[in-house]
């Protein structure tokens, strides 16, 4: 039976110019840490940090432009912009509307989604639903973050883990037969559980403290939830499509920590070379990490037409989710 499918037509990324290797955190930022400690525990080797005045919207616009260019789609075709960010330029206008303006788009609609590191999977899920119900035909789905501005630079347990950047995908309306061999987003699976809200949070906000607050994390607790919840949600996605571990061509995980990523690869019986890993170069860019990793893999020509790609993420909330996409 013919049905609407949302196709990923192109992926783009943007990283701020300034790249800070681990060693510079000790030497220049005065943080009591070492390259060895960070690499051994997280796999992170460097992160990019936004320039003063460089915003989530500016970075998101740059990533969107690259995604549109790679897709061969004109800006004028875009009728929806959905931005996942925990570091918006301001409470409003939404970062998505600022990006709409920066791209010179005056039709359609644009709005933000807040689901921390899972934000991109949430945004992709919303875009997919809107495309399949005919509310949009060409959506930009963007993850963009300037976490450097919400880090406590005196807390070495968190400030070494994050970086700034943006990633974007162009999602267009297509057709399929309702089968797992269709091209496009096969399904998305979202979860949240607010009982764990205090293990990863920003401790302030416009509506509570009046300020922005800083990121706080109980790292071990987050780690404990991550692997089991991520493995379960990917299995849920595969089962919903009658697929198994062996059908996954690429795992594009949220890039928080190499140990979590490797544990996921083992749980899914995937050889290392089937897992896209960018955490070493980008660190954790929260909602930007999956689209940045997708853009990186696509830019290297790794993902081919027909490949089944599994996306998964977990973040503050807790929120977690997965998507299966056939390119």
Among 314, 322, 324, 325, binds ligand ACO (CB under 6 A): 314
List the Cα angle 121/126/128 in 5-degree steps: 90
What is the Cα gyration radius of the chain?
Answer: 18
Catalytic residue among 11, 117, 138, 159: 117
Site residues (CB under 6 A) for ligand ACO, limited to 152-191: 156-157, 160-161
Selected from 284, 285, 296, 326, the binder of ligand ACO by CB under 6 A is 284
Closest approach of Cβ 134 to ligand ACO, in Å? 34
Which DSSP letter does residue 265 get? Answer: H
Q: Kindly state the smallest distance separating residue 201's Cβ from ligand ACO, in Å.
A: 11
Q: Within 62-121, which residues bind ligand ACO (CB under 6 A)? A: 117
- State the Cα–Cα distance between residues 5 and 131, nearest whole angstrom: 8
For residue 180, cis peptide bond before it (omega within 30 degrees of 0): no
CA torsion, points 223, 117, 155, 225, in degrees to nearest 10? -20
278-303 per-residue burial string, b: 16 or more CB within 10 A, e: under 16: bbebbbbbbbbbbbbbbbbbbeeebb
Check residue 33 for interaction with ligand ACO (CB under 6 A).
yes
Interface with ligand ACO (CB under 6 A), residue from 29, 37, 109, 153 = 37
Q: Looking only at Cα atoms, what is the longest distance across the chain?
A: 61
Q: Which of 222, 279, 283, 288 binds ligand ACO (CB under 6 A)?
A: 222
Span interacting with ligand ACO, options 88-96, 218-226, 272-280, 299-307, rule CB under 6 A: 218-226
Chain positions contacting ligand ACO, by CB under 6 A: 33, 37-38, 41-42, 117, 156-157, 160-161, 200, 217, 219-220, 222-223, 226, 256-257, 284, 314-315
């Amino acid at each position: 039976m013919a049905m609407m499918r949302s196709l990923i037509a192109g992926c783009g990324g943007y990283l701020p110019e300034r790249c800070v290797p681990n060693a510079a955190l000790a030497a220049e930022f005065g943080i009591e840490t070492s390259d060895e400690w960070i690499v051994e525990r997280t796999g992170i080797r460097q992160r990019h940090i936004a320039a003063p005045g460089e915003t989530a919207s500016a970075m998101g616009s740059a990533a969107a432009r690259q995604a549109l260019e790679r897709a061969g789609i004109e800006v004028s075709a875009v009728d929806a912009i959905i931005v996942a960010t925990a570091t918006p330029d301001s409470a409003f206008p939404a970062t998505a509307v600022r990006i709409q303006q920066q791209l010179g788009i005056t039709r359609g609609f644009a709005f933000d989604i807040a689901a921390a590191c899972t934000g991109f999977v949430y945004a992709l899920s919303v875009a997919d639903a809107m495309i399949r119900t005919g509310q949009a035909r060409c959506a930009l789905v963007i993850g963009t973050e300037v976490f450097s501005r919400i880090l406590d630079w005196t807390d070495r347990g968190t400030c070494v883990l994050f970086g700034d950047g943006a990633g974007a995908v162009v999602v267009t309306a297509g057709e399929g037969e309702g089968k797992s061999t269709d091209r496009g987003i096969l399904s998305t699976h979202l979860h949240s559980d607010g009982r764990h809200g205090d293990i990863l949070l920003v401790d302030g906000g416009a509506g509570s403290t009046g300020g922005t607050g800083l990121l706080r994390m109980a790292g071990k607790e987050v780690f404990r939830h991550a692997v089991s919840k991520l493995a379960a949600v990917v299995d849920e996605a595969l089962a919903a499509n009658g697929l198994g571990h062996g059908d996954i061509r690429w795992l594009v995980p949220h890039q928080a920590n190499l140990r979590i990523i490797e544990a996921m690869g083992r749980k899914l019986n995937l050889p290392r070379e089937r897992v896209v890993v960018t955490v070493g170069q980008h660190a954790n860019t929260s909602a930007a990490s999956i689209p940045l990793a997708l853009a990186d893999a696509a830019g290297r020509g790794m993902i081919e037409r027909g490949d089944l790609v599994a996306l998964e993420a977990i973040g503050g909330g807790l929120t977690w989710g997965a998507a299966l996409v056939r390119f």
